[in-house]
Amino acid sequence: MAEFSDQPMTPPKEQYYGFFPGKYTTAYLESYVDNHVYSGQTIRDRVLFNSNVDCIIEISQPDSAKGAHWEITYNTTQKIRTSKVIDATGMTSQPQIPTLPGSSYFKGKTLHHKSFGQSQALLLKDPSIQSICIIGGAKSAADVAYACTKSPLERKVHWIIRQDGNGPSAFFAAPAMTERYANSNEGFYNRFLASFLPNQFGNRWGWLKWLLQRTVLGRWYAKRLWDGFDKGLRAFHEYHREDGKEKGFANLEYDTPSGVCNHPDFLSAIAKNVQIHRRNISHLSEHSITLEACTSNSPEKSKPLTLPVDALVYCTGWSAHSNIFPTHIAFDLGLPVPLRDADPQRQAHWEDLEKTADAVVISQFPNLKNPPAYRKIEPVETPFRLYRAMAPPSDSTHSIVFLGKMVVGNNFRVAEAQAI
Give the tens place of pLDDT for each residue, 243-278.
Answer: 888 899 988 888 766 678 888 899 899 999 999 999
How does pLDDT run across 38-47, given as a tens digit for each residue?
999 999 999 9
By the 10 Å C-beta count (0-12 exposed, 13-18 middle, 19+ buried), 185 is classed as: buried
Instruction: Region of 389 please: left (phi>0), alpha (psi -120 to 50) or beta.
Output: left
Amino acid at the residue 25: T
pLDDT-based confidence at 36, cuts 50/70/90? very high
By the 10 Å C-beta count (0-12 exposed, 13-18 middle, 19+ buried), 12 is classed as: middle
Question: What one-character DSSP code corresponds to residue 244?
Answer: G
| Whole-model pTM over 0.85 | yes
**Cα gap 317→106, rounded to integer Å:** 21
Question: Residue 33: what pLDDT?
Answer: 96
How does pLDDT run across 59-70, given as a tens digit for each residue?
877 665 567 789
Question: Residue 148: what pLDDT?
Answer: 93
